[in-house]
Structure 1
Amino acid sequence: MTEIHGQSANDEWWIDIKRGIDQCYQLQAMPTAPYMQLYNQVYKHCASARPLQFYPNGNMPQPDAFGGRELYNRLESQFYTHLIELRDSANDIHGDDLIRFYKTSWEKYNFSSKVINGFCHYINQYWVKRAQQDNGTNIYDIFTVNENQSIILTRSSHIFLVVRESKQFYICEAAKFTSADSISEYLKQVAQRLTEEEHRVKSYLHSSTLGSLLFILDDVLIRNKLDLIYAGAEILLRNDKNQDLAVLFTLVSRVPGAIEKLKEIVEKHIYLTGLQAIKSIAETARTDVNVYSTKIIEIYNKYISIVHECFGGERSSFIPALDRACSKFINKNAIVEACGTSTKSAELLARYSDTVLKSKKVINDADMTKQLKEIMVVFNYIDDKDAFQNFYRRLLAERLVYELSASIDYEKMMITELKVKCGFFYTSKLQKMIEDMDIQESLRAQYRQYCVENRLRNTVNFSIVVLTTHAWPFTTVFEFTLPLELTSLWTNFTKFYRERHKNRKLTWFHQYARCELHTNFTKTKHILQVSTYQTAILLLYNDSLELTIAEIQDETKLEDEILLEIICILIQSGNRSHNETSKNSKA
């Protein structure tokens, strides 16, 4: 700041200008004639050049060689003096009166500055521009000098007064918030106060005041009340108050580092909610394998929606907290602990996937894609992904061999999802299984043509699936003798296949085959869906109505344990059929 001490005898020109400046600050009427006199005084002073110093090579004289510097310095000092007096006059003003004082004074000062800038037009155009071109550091037009001086004083004194009063007010207001139960109302109040302060600054104060005021609000209303706000967050999560959670997140985010504790609260809540939800379905899950995965998907969908809606959108930093919570309660919960195996979640998810991919309900691609994406969400949290792959591969084999899949395309979609997540090696066997199924129709067509060319007459409709060794989860081969009715089919196909693939070996898994038998000994025709082992036993009764277990075993070569299990199943099925027939007869 440049100050002018004392005045010389030749300062009449400045006295006139100073008087005009005071008249402007007091908003006194200024007719055209006095205004033009002030303009002329400025012009005369700037035009009266000091003795010029000429420089070699025709260089122009420096700006200080002209009469503008002294006037510029005196104007700057006068503006500062007036603002000091204005500031001191507000020492005894408080509360709303202080805000109104600032607003009125600023409006007057801004208007006066424009008038003063008008009659200082010549110095702006003549000296200021030349000084800015040569060394323009801290050289501005007269209106900007006025405004800069007001900003400096506002920052040094007025901001302090406003901030001090505001802080005391908000401390008293925050003291009323003593219980987390009233968190919703408190959050709305704080959000409203922030909005009001921003509006108040725009309407009555300089924009530089806003940062200090908002810092006070953040400190008093948020940072100092974080413990109660955190406790309130738990209440809001329990009561599904999503809108209030969004407000809470916005406010807590204003305090650096404060959301880390909020993440911990959200993670703990999701974890405990997941544990309780799984515990509540423990009994049902014993008989319904789908309810477990369905419940997990339900919990995930609920909280991913809350994270997106309340905690920052799809790229929210709260997503890792959700992931950690889900991973913990999915891999260790009441059902897993009751079963005593860490692979239970992997097994139940594989069985749920099996149900989805078997579904014969009319479903469009979009719905199936959604269901597969949900399965993959749970899969991402499974710790033992190798266990899932083992369970899934066995169930996939059953769906493919017994033609239970809703669509082979959906099977491919699921395998693609697994491949994206775990890589090619993880899904290589699954993909090979699908490839085996893709070539079956061509193989069957070739065999039918082979039968025609060789005049082979098959008395039984016959369909076969040739699978790649090691890709499928079929390993155990049991000793078994085919019934005579099926032997020719086995012989013909074996010969056909060996002629085309001389270096390949066929291993027959009769235990996975299925047959369809038609009854001829009852008035009502029945169709029996039975296994190959059951077929072999039932066909023996075409030749004899009474057979001992030893005789059956001699014919079929089945092991004792397997044979007894099959006979028990046939007896139970026969009893159920007999009971149903009896009921129908009585009716």
Structure 2
Amino acid sequence: MVAKTFTVEEGWEYMKNNGILKLIRILEGLSEPSFTIAESMMLYTTVYNMCNQHPRPDNSEKVYKKYQEVFEEYIISKVLPSIKEKHGEIMLMELVKRWVNHKVMIRWLSRFFEYLSRSYLVKKLDFSSLEELGVTRFRNLVYLEVGRNAIDVVITLINKEREGQQIDRGLLKNVSDFFIEIGSECINCYEMDFEALMLQDTSEYYSRKASKWIVEDSCPDYMLKAEECLKRERDRVSHYMHPSTEKKLVEKVQHELLMVKSKQLLEKECSGFCALLREEKVEDLSRMYRLYHEIPQGLENIASIYKEHITGEGTALVKEAEDAATNQDASKVGVQEQVLIRKITKLLDKNVAQVKDLFSNHTLFNKALKEAFEVFCNKAVAGRSSAELLAASCDNILHKGGNESDEDIEEKLEKVVKLLAFIYDKDIFAEFYRKKLARRLLFERGANEDHEKSILSKLKQQFGGLFTSKMEGMVTDIILAREYQTKLVEYLCSNSNANPGIDFSVTVLTSGFWPTYKSFNLSLPTEMAKCVQVFKDFYDTQTKHRRLTWIYSLGTCNINAKFETKTIELIVSTYQAAALLLFNSSDRLSFSEIRTQLNLTDDDLVRLLHSLSCAKYKILKKEPNTKTISPTDNFEFNYKFTDKMRRIKIPVPPVDERKKVIEEVDKDRRYTIDAAIVRIMKSRKVLELQKLVIECVEQLSNMFKPDIKLIKRQIEDLITRDYLERDQDNPSMFKYLA
């Protein structure tokens, strides 16, 4: 096919008159029919012929420039003046209208000049496509001229909407799309121009609002406004901004309303975070969490205040108990301590529920709760450590005679175990608990074995098997002791000659499980000594590999005392019983005679005789009749003693074992630290002092908070015992000696 011969100018004249001017008239809204298929084909053919004149001059570049000039002439003559003569919202409408028309123009002209794309532009990699060229012309001639003004108008309309006025959201959506479409691969007009200015204005707008609201509004009202603002900004983005703007816009609002004013908002005197906690404003607290949870590090300040709040409440409870203990007599100190434990348990329940329900069990709030409780749960009350108080609380719960249901007891035990998690010196708790457990098991004062096993199971689950191994051994011993007692009864029935003539029972304990008790060579009366011998003979029939050590201080006796008025059953300790039985063969005994016959120390004998002659029940008469026991005193059985009860229990003044328990724990700690150091060094072989101390603290912290000085002292001790040695070149480096 031979192209029709004419000049480019002649061809362009045809394109202008039959294509370009007609298209402009259509865009300007004049009455003009659309292009037919034949017209479109003729215009395409004309472009083809202009580019392929014989003898094949290269006219494509010339035609490409003509194509570019079409846009420039139209924009300069028609589009730009029309936009610039308008203002405000009307200007935006005109801009959107002209951009829509311009896209139509690009679409039609791209069809007419499509041959350029297929034959010419495909070879010119540095030239813009026909569509890109049309967009570039509009961007360079219109957007660069009126874009900033359009952005200012859009921001003004957004602020009007923020103030509650109605605006044309559809128009803003179209303008937003225009900012996106007018950009290129290199230039992001929406993000770099519109979004940047809009976000800056948003910051300034909400900064002004925050400064006003923080003064005028309470904390809950301020948060309501902040929440509503965030909701509206998200809604705003969904209606007329690009989705990528939402995160940036929300962050700006959060920063100005919540982060900048965080301290003032949270610490408002009558409505801040602490006030909301005190008044249990659930809805407001939940809103605060929701608002700040969305912000990176937004919850840190709240969690810090939460920690201080709990610490303050708990410390106040401890101080209240301390003051009450100081102002009351010693007999009521224990009651106050139990009240304190109940109050702290109640405080824990309340705050655990808050963390779960209000703060979604967030790690920061759980950490704040833990650290806060660690502060006041490790304070002493009336000289007694929190570990000792918890052990006493368990003992109180497990005591016999309570009217509480099994479920209530289980719940209380569960709470005590939870409190124990905050105590540093868990080994002190374990030792005091073991002492009290021993008394419950041996004197049958415990609620029941199921509860004893239950709390041991809870402790084991929480702190490991090593923590409860001795206690579990104690419970097992009591169960086995019952079996021994059954066998003893059978033995006595089958060996009538062995029967001592009085009822007795013996509890066999494993020394490694039970607390350490003083063992005396008490000289027993004949009746009691025979019981001991009978049990030894019986026990030898059961085992040949164990040695019995008798702890008479743990024994109790029921004896019948015949007074002038009536016979009264006396429940006494083994020592008291031994002393009273001496008066079966003697009417009058001196202090020294009793001491010689029983083989007791002066201190123990003083306590014993005081309980029988100077306390509530005066079973013995003392000469002289004073309130104290002295080595020159004489004693005789008080036949005239009487009491309305037929059965009475005569207590022995208690011995304060607290000091002994602490000493035992301190001694055990040294062994535990030694074991940890050796264990670490055995695996590491060579280790620096600082790292050794850190690892040792980490290993031991689940049982107690080790003293750094004690660790270093034990390291030195292990060196003298040839477990470790210092490096000759580096004194802070230690080597393990196998």
1:314 to 357, 361, 369: 361
Q: Counterpart in 1 of 2:417?
A: 376
CA 180–511 in structure 1, closer or farther in 2 if over 3 Å, else same: farther
Q: Counterpart in 2 of 1:304?
A: 352
Q: Counterpart in 2 of 1:402?
A: 443
2:610 to 551, 554, 568: 568
In the TM superposition, residue 557 of structure 1 has moved relative to its aligned partner by 3.5
CA 110–394 in structure 1, closer or farther in 2 if over 3 Å, else same: closer
Q: Counterpart in 2 of 1:537?
A: 579
User: Aligned with 1:527: secondary structure?
Assistant: strand
1:234-259: CA deviation from partner (whole Å, max 9, x where unpaired) = 44445544543333344344544343
2:287 to 247, 257, 260: 247
Q: Counterpart in 1 of 2:118?
A: 64
Contact 2:379 2:385 survives alignment (8 Å): no
User: Aligned with 1:517: secondary structure?
Assistant: strand
In the TM superposition, residue 214 of structure 1 has moved relative to its aligned partner by 1.7
**Equivalent residue letter for 1:316:** T
Q: Counterpart in 2 of 1:485?
A: 527
CA distance in 2, matches of 1:358, 1:148: 82
Moved more, 537-546 or 482-491: 537-546
1:320-364: CA deviation from partner (whole Å, max 9, x where unpaired) = 22222222222235x2xx52xxx6222111111111222543555
CA distance in 2, matches of 1:440, 1:29: 113
Q: Counterpart in 2 of 1:104?
A: 170
Q: Counterpart in 1 of 2:488?
A: 447
Moved more, 219-228 or 89-98: 89-98
Matches within 5 A, 1:404-423: 404-423=445-464
Contact 1:90 1:98 survives alignment (8 Å): no
In the TM superposition, residue 454 of structure 1 has moved relative to its aligned partner by 1.9
**Equivalent residue letter for 2:287:** V
CA distance in 2, matches of 1:554, 1:97: 102
Contact 1:242 1:310 survives alignment (8 Å): yes
In the TM superposition, residue 423 of structure 1 has moved relative to its aligned partner by 3.8
Q: Counterpart in 1 of 2:540?
A: 498
Matches within 5 A, 1:279-358: 279-282=319-322, 283-284=324-325, 286-288=333-335, 289-311=337-359, 313-332=360-379, 335=381, 338-339=382-383, 344-358=385-399
CA distance in 1, matches of 2:184, 2:366: 47
CA 108–264 in structure 1, closer or farther in 2 if over 3 Å, else same: closer
Contact 1:180 1:231 survives alignment (8 Å): no
**Equivalent residue letter for 2:333:** R
In the TM superposition, residue 437 of structure 1 has moved relative to its aligned partner by 1.7
CA distance in 2, matches of 1:249, 1:67: 59
CA distance in 2, matches of 1:445, 1:146: 99
User: Aligned with 2:520: secondary structure?
Assistant: coil
CA 221–38 in structure 1, closer or farther in 2 if over 3 Å, else same: farther
In the TM superposition, residue 494 of structure 1 has moved relative to its aligned partner by 0.7
CA distance in 2, matches of 1:220, 1:267: 25
Q: Counterpart in 2 of 1:188?
A: 224
CA distance in 2, matches of 1:578, 1:287: 32
Matches within 5 A, 1:255-294: 255-282=295-322, 283-284=324-325, 286-288=333-335, 289-294=337-342
CA distance in 2, matches of 1:263, 1:286: 35
Contact 2:565 2:642 survives alignment (8 Å): no
In the TM superposition, residue 75 of structure 1 has moved relative to its aligned partner by 6.4
Q: Counterpart in 2 of 1:58?
A: none
**Equivalent residue letter for 2:249:** L
In the TM superposition, residue 388 of structure 1 has moved relative to its aligned partner by 1.9
CA 10–390 in structure 1, closer or farther in 2 if over 3 Å, else same: farther
In the TM superposition, residue 561 of structure 1 has moved relative to its aligned partner by 2.9
CA distance in 1, matches of 2:364, 2:281: 20
In the TM superposition, residue 194 of structure 1 has moved relative to its aligned partner by 0.9
Q: Counterpart in 2 of 1:219?
A: 255
CA 532–164 in structure 1, closer or farther in 2 if over 3 Å, else same: closer
CA 79–181 in structure 1, closer or farther in 2 if over 3 Å, else same: closer
CA distance in 2, matches of 1:266, 1:538: 62
Q: Counterpart in 2 of 1:361?
A: 402
CA 490–570 in structure 1, closer or farther in 2 if over 3 Å, else same: same
Q: Counterpart in 2 of 1:386?
A: 427
CA distance in 1, matches of 2:232, 2:555: 78
Unaligned runs of 5+ in 1: 1-6, 52-60, 114-143, 582-587
**Equivalent residue letter for 2:616:** S
**Equivalent residue letter for 1:331:** N
User: Aligned with 1:574: secondary structure?
Assistant: coil
In the TM superposition, residue 470 of structure 1 has moved relative to its aligned partner by 3.0
**Equivalent residue letter for 2:251:** F
Q: Counterpart in 2 of 1:467?
A: 509
Q: Counterpart in 1 of 2:468?
A: 427
CA distance in 2, matches of 1:411, 1:39: 101
**Equivalent residue letter for 2:603:** E
Contact 1:48 1:67 survives alignment (8 Å): no
CA distance in 1, matches of 2:24, 2:410: 83
CA 322–39 in structure 1, closer or farther in 2 if over 3 Å, else same: farther
Matches within 5 A, 1:19-30: 19=24, 22=27
Q: Counterpart in 2 of 1:138?
A: none
In the TM superposition, residue 559 of structure 1 has moved relative to its aligned partner by 3.3
User: Aligned with 1:439: secondary structure?
Assistant: helix
User: Aligned with 2:501: secondary structure?
Assistant: coil
CA distance in 2, matches of 1:87, 1:159: 13
CA 177–222 in structure 1, closer or farther in 2 if over 3 Å, else same: same
In the TM superposition, residue 465 of structure 1 has moved relative to its aligned partner by 0.5
In the TM superposition, residue 145 of structure 1 has moved relative to its aligned partner by 6.7
In the TM superposition, residue 427 of structure 1 has moved relative to its aligned partner by 3.1
User: Aligned with 1:440: secondary structure?
Assistant: helix
**Equivalent residue letter for 1:15:** I
CA 546–173 in structure 1, closer or farther in 2 if over 3 Å, else same: same
CA distance in 2, matches of 1:510, 1:62: 116
Moved more, 372-381 or 504-513: 372-381
CA distance in 1, matches of 2:514, 2:426: 18
CA distance in 2, matches of 1:493, 1:180: 86
**Equivalent residue letter for 2:511:** T
Q: Which structure: greater helix fraction?
A: 1
In the TM superposition, residue 187 of structure 1 has moved relative to its aligned partner by 1.8
**Equivalent residue letter for 1:220:** E
Contact 1:102 1:205 survives alignment (8 Å): no
1:397-447: CA deviation from partner (whole Å, max 9, x where unpaired) = 111111222222332333333334444444332232222122122212222
Structure 1 length as normaliser, TM-score? Answer: 0.74
Q: Counterpart in 2 of 1:140?
A: none
CA distance in 1, matches of 2:507, 2:36: 109
**Equivalent residue letter for 2:538:** F
Count of paired positions: 522
In the TM superposition, residue 265 of structure 1 has moved relative to its aligned partner by 2.5
| Percent of pairs with identical residues | 25
**Equivalent residue letter for 2:421:** N
Q: Counterpart in 1 of 2:662?
A: none
In the TM superposition, residue 495 of structure 1 has moved relative to its aligned partner by 0.6
In the TM superposition, residue 40 of structure 1 has moved relative to its aligned partner by 6.8
